[in-house]
């Protein structure tokens, strides 16, 4: 069969993502550092130029990273200007290499003082966050094009407050409404604050959206339950914040095929075929990304894929994974969905939260013993597309 070449839009952003705690190393005064220390991680805080050289070598023109609130505001009321200078230098280092920065203001870790005040459960959380946001945006606004206020509010809420995995490790459904409300208020206030400083700023949220489908298409009940699941998992937060987003940031990893059996002990199950899975057992389901994107068309906002990737230590599946997800993105663009960029998770192997350093998500392999790096084969394949904007399929 002759190969068909797919062309992506001219100004498409091609890049990769990281977050501060997962790569920087030696983050102190933070709610994660006692229980889940990331130690030197990838030493990105000191070694960022090396990583940006790699991104450039791989023809990437965009890079998403996050700021460390613990570094910038180590104590209540005390902002550290030196840290902002550090991030400014980093951003300029990206720009010198022709790479656009996309900056996440909060990616899952809190300064200790904020955690001690109850973190996302504190009634004044959105005010603290607004102060922090104003400080960073006033200082960095002239060099940043795209801002994300927060990363995956729903996933964080469930891991930190329902499943008890992330700090503060609670299993308490009763606190969820408050945390959820705080996320919405926090985003809205931050959104307004950023626009107060610069009315042309572009602000979004990185939201983890899954593709939800139904195990038994013939069951009306199964369909209704899957719809309800989809509403709470993917829609509610988006609906409540849609007027406060200049673009949609989408992290796509999951297929949730809902099986409903009212008579069993736990009636709701995710029952995927799992034909292909990553090293973490996450099902690989590129087609789902197309459906997710198609459903977002109605919001009429530009879309960036702010994360998409897999743990694949041997790099056996990554090339195919990237190509197939890009095909689905292209298909959505053909259908009129305004997708403007793809940021693979991740540029480098890094600290995968409670799973530690085991899972390997990087386009670039890290040797944590001596901090040496090796570009994976899949990264070279992705680099060809980043260079030309063309995908053969």
Complex with ligand FCB: residue 151 or 186, whichever CB lies closer? 151
**Which residue(s) pair with 237 in the sheet?**
none
Question: How would you classify residue 252: left for phi > 0, otherwise alpha for psi between -120 and 50, otherwise beta?
Answer: beta
What crossing angle do the helices spanning 125-140 and 81-96 adopt, rounded to 10°? 50
**Which residue(s) pair with 364 in the sheet?**
348, 375
Which residues, in sequence order, are CB contacts of 196 under 8 Å at separation 6+? Answer: none
What letter does residue 229 receive in the DSSP assignment?
H
Complex with ligand FCB: residue 38 or 155, whichever CB lies closer? 155
Binding of ligand FCB by 49 (CB under 6 A):
no
Q: How far is the CB of 351 from ligand FCB (least distance, A)?
A: 9
Number of residues that bind ligand FCB (CB under 6 A): 12
C-alpha span between 213 and 223 (Å, rounded): 8
Complex with ligand FCB: residue 257 or 360, whichever CB lies closer? 360
Stretch that binds ligand FCB, among 118-126, 149-157, 231-239, 266-274 (CB under 6 A): 149-157
C-alpha span between 178 and 126 (Å, rounded): 12
307 belongs to the catalytic site: yes
Binding of ligand FCB by 100 (CB under 6 A):
no
For ligand FCB, the binding residue among 31, 307, 312, 324 (CB under 6 A) is 307
Which residues, in sequence order, are CB contacts of 14 under 8 Å at separation 6+? Answer: 59, 60, 61, 62, 341, 342, 385, 386, 389
Complex with ligand FCB: residue 139 or 152, whichever CB lies closer? 152
Q: How far is the CB of 347 from ligand FCB (least distance, A)?
A: 12
Compute CA distances 159 → 167, 168, 173, 176, whole Å: 9, 9, 11, 11
Complex with ligand FCB: residue 162 or 197, whichever CB lies closer? 162
Per the CB < 8 A criterion, the answer to whether 130 and 188 are in contact is no
Helices and strands per DSSP (H, E), number in the chain: 13, 15
Q: How far is the CB of 345 from ligand FCB (least distance, A)?
A: 5
Binding of ligand FCB by 152 (CB under 6 A):
yes
Q: How far is the CB of 207 from ligand FCB (least distance, A)?
A: 10
Compute CA distances 222 → 210, 213, 263, 295, 339, whole Å: 17, 10, 13, 20, 31
Binding of ligand FCB by 42 (CB under 6 A):
no
Cβ neighbours, 10 Å, residue 235? 15
Q: How far is the CB of 13 from ligand FCB (least distance, A)?
A: 18
Binding of ligand FCB by 66 (CB under 6 A):
no
Binding of ligand FCB by 345 (CB under 6 A):
yes
Binding of ligand FCB by 352 (CB under 6 A):
yes
- Of 242, 247, 257, 365, nearest in space to 315 by CA: 365
Binding of ligand FCB by 283 (CB under 6 A):
no
Per the CB < 8 A criterion, the answer to whether 242 and 303 are in contact is no
Q: How far is the CB of 329 from ligand FCB (least distance, A)?
A: 18
Binding of ligand FCB by 353 (CB under 6 A):
yes
Q: Which of 139, 283, 307, 324 is catalytic?
A: 307
C-alpha span between 190 and 365 (Å, rounded): 35
Return the residues of window 156-215 that contact ligand FCB according to CB under 6 A: 208
Q: Which of 130, 139, 152, 283 is catalytic?
A: 152
Binding of ligand FCB by 322 (CB under 6 A):
no
For ligand FCB, the binding residue among 19, 70, 73, 378 (CB under 6 A) is 19
Stretch that binds ligand FCB, among 24-32, 151-159, 215-223, 265-273 (CB under 6 A): 151-159
Stretch that binds ligand FCB, among 42-50, 187-195, 293-301, 345-353 (CB under 6 A): 345-353
**3-class DSSP assignment, residue 294:** helix
Binding of ligand FCB by 155 (CB under 6 A):
yes
138 belongs to the catalytic site: no
Residues assigned a catalytic role: 152, 307
Interface with ligand FCB (CB under 6 A): 19, 22, 151-152, 155, 208, 251, 307, 345, 352-353, 361
């Amino acid at each position: 069969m002759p190969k068909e070449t797919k062309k992506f839009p001219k100004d498409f952003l091609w890049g990769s993502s990281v977050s501060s705690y997962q790569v920087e190393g030696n983050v102190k005064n933070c709610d994660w550092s006692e229980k889940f220390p990331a130690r030197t991680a990838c030493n990105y805080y000191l070694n960022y130029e090396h990583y940006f050289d790699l991104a450039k070598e791989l023809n990437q023109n965009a890079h998403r990273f996050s700021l460390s609130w613990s570094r910038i505001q180590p104590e209540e009321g005390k902002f550290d200007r030196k840290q902002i200078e550090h991030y400014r230098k980093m951003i300029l280092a990206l720009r010198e290499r022709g790479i656009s920065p996309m900056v996440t203001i909060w990616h899952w870790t809190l300064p200790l003082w904020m955690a001690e005040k109850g973190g996302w459960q504190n009634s004044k959380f959105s005010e603290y966050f607004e102060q922090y946001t104003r400080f960073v945006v006033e200082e960095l606004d002239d060099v940043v094009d795209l801002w994300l206020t927060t990363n995956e509010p729903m996933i964080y809420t469930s891991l930190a407050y329902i499943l008890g995995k992330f700090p503060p490790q609670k299993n308490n459904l009763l606190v969820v409404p408050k945390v959820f409300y705080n996320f919405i208020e926090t985003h809205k206030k931050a959104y307004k604050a950023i626009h107060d400083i610069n009315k042309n700023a572009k602000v979004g949220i990185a939201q983890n959206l899954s593709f939800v489908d139904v195990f038994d298409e013939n069951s009306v009940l199964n369909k209704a339950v899957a719809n309800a699941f989809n509403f709470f998992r993917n829609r509610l937060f988006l609906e409540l914040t849609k007027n406060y987003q200049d673009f949609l940031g989408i992290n796509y990893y999951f297929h949730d095929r809902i099986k409903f059996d009212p008579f069993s002990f736990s009636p709701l199950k995710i029952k995927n075929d799992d034909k292909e899975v990553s090293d973490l057992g996450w099902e690989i389901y590129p087609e789902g990304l197309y459906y997710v994107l198609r459903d977002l068309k109605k919001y009429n906002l530009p879309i960036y894929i702010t994360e998409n990737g897999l743990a694949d230590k041997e790099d056996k599946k990554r090339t195919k994974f990237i190509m197939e997800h890009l095909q689905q993105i292209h298909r959505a663009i053909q259908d009129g969905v305004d997708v403007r960029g793809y940021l693979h998770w991740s540029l480098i192997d890094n600290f995968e939260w409670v799973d530690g350093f085991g899972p390997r998500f990087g386009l670039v392999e890290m040797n944590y013993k001596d901090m040496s790096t090796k570009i994976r084969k899949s990264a070279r394949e992705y680099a060809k597309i980043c260079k030309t904007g063309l995908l053969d399929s």
